[in-house]
Amino acid sequence: MQYELDRDSITPLYVQIGDIIRDGLSRGVWKPGERIPSESELQESFNVSRMTVRGVVSSLVDEGLLQRVPGKGTFVAQAKITASSPMYRGIREQLERMGYKTQTELLKFEKVLPPRFAQDALEVAADESVFEIVRLRKIEDQPVSLHRSWIPAKFAPSLLECDVVDEQLCTVLGDEFGLRATETHETLEAVAASEVEGEILECGEGVPLLLLEDTLYDERGRAFEYTKLLLHGGHMKVRFNFSGEAKAI
């Protein structure tokens, strides 16, 4: 298919090509998950240099509209689900309120000795037992997030008897043990998926993930939960809402 570009226009060719592809995406010419024409095919269709086409495709990848898959080509990216930080409302609750059908797989639920980073976050000794809970969240059988949580056993001694699959962990801790967060410390960073994480999330090793780390404190100032939440960056993004006076960056 040939595309006509206005070569006398003040608008650069690469901008025109980007607009044509965006229009095609919005009209469903190429649907989510579908491969778009190769760079050589686009070069022929637009009658421009390979470098121009590559620059346009790279820009659309950076915008999140397209996704490169090594060895396969460039595909239309799936629309990302926007969720708020779990410090406001649990990820599962948010997804279900948006109408998504979620599934939760319990990968691990044991009483263990805390790893060093959990010791520091929860302010517990190396010989103090904690519960480690690892859950995989899916939307219509597609993995979207991996949750790893640690809770000091002294605060929730019978936690192993509780349902942490059908019930949200925050609900269990609040209703069964009176542990409700009045303060949350949270960090967000981009990380590369490890081999194991890539396999669990079905994204492959090295793929960018969003890592949210939350430490929850009760009204007495006790750290009672530390969670590492990995979000599949290809499926989800996180929205933060703030109130008060805006500050220039």
Please state the pTM of the whole predicted model: 0.64
Of 46 and 84, the one with more pLDDT: 46
Q: β-strand 183-192 against 142-152: which pairing, if any?
A: unpaired
**CATH class belonging to 81-239:** alpha beta
Encode pLDDT of 118-150 as tens digits.
999 999 999 999 999 999 988 778 888 899 999
Which pLDDT band holds residue 70 (cuts at 50, 70, 90)?
confident
Angle, vertex CA 126, rays to CA 122 and CA 128, nearest 5? 70
Which pLDDT band holds residue 93 (cuts at 50, 70, 90)?
low
Q: C-alpha distances in angstroms, 210 versus 1, 193, 231, 234? A: 39, 9, 5, 10
pLDDT at 240: 47
**Structure-derived torsion over alpha carbons of residues 48, 53, 56, 58, reported in degrees to the nearest 10:** -160
Domain spans of the chain, in order of start: 13-76, 81-239
CATH number of 13-76: 1.10.10.10
Classify 223 in phi/psi space as left (phi over 0), alpha (psi -120 to 50) or beta: beta
Q: What does 112-133 look like in DSSP terms, one character per residue?
A: EPPPHHHHHHHT--TTS-EEEE
pLDDT at 168: 87
Q: Give whichever of 60-64, 180-184, 245-249 has the largest mean pLDDT.
A: 180-184
**Structure-derived torsion over alpha carbons of residues 111, 116, 117, 122, reported in degrees to the nearest 10:** 60
Q: C-alpha distances in angstroms, 127 versus 111, 112, 113, 238? A: 12, 9, 6, 35
Neighbours of 3 (CB within 10 A): 14
Of 22 and 239, the one with more pLDDT: 22
Across the chain, how many H-helices and E-strands are there? 7, 10
Work out the average pLDDT over 104-110: 95
Neighbours of 197 (CB within 10 A): 19
Provide the b/e sequence for 84-102 (b: ≥16 CB within 10 Å): ebbeeebbbbbbeeeeeeb
User: In whole angstroms, what is the distance from residue 157 CA to residue 134 CA?
Assistant: 18
Q: Tokens 């967060």 correspond to what residue?
A: 181
